[in-house]
Amino acid sequence: MARLIAPAIGAALLLAGCERPPEDTAADPVRRAAYQVHLALARLKACDDKDELRSAETRLLELTRLAMPIGRDRAIWLGGNDWSAVMAQGRPVTCPGTPRARAAADQALDALGDVLGNVE
């Protein structure tokens, strides 16, 4: 029975209208920027900078809320999902030093905001 169902599902996915939205590709700039934000947040966490981490997470939530009306919140989620997949590989995140981690987080969040601002 499973042999009959799998080809039917595959055929249904190939039908017109079933193509992936642009944010489902790794080339999407919002998704890539969100991945960089999650990397920066992980470095802040490794540096044990709780105040800055809380501030950066709040800013990410605000950017995600701004992305909702233009339909780009899913791309932000996918960038976080990409980061989770990398973390599942067991690669440890090290602290590059608190000032560098703070600067990287600010830069990544600014880049995400810029990319969202350029989305039509």
Percent of the chain beyond pLDDT 90?
61
What residues does each domain of the chain span? 23-117
* First and final C-alpha spacing in the chain: 46
pLDDT at 15 over 50: no
pLDDT digits (tens, 9 = 90+) for 17-26: 445 555 567 6
Q: Which long-range contacts (CB under 8 A, 24 or more apart) does 57-60 make?
A: 59/109, 60/109, 60/112
- The per-residue pLDDT for range 53-84, each reduced to its tens digit, is 999 999 999 999 999 998 999 999 999 999 99
pLDDT digits (tens, 9 = 90+) for 30-48: 999 999 999 999 999 999 9
Three-state secondary structure call for residue 22: helix
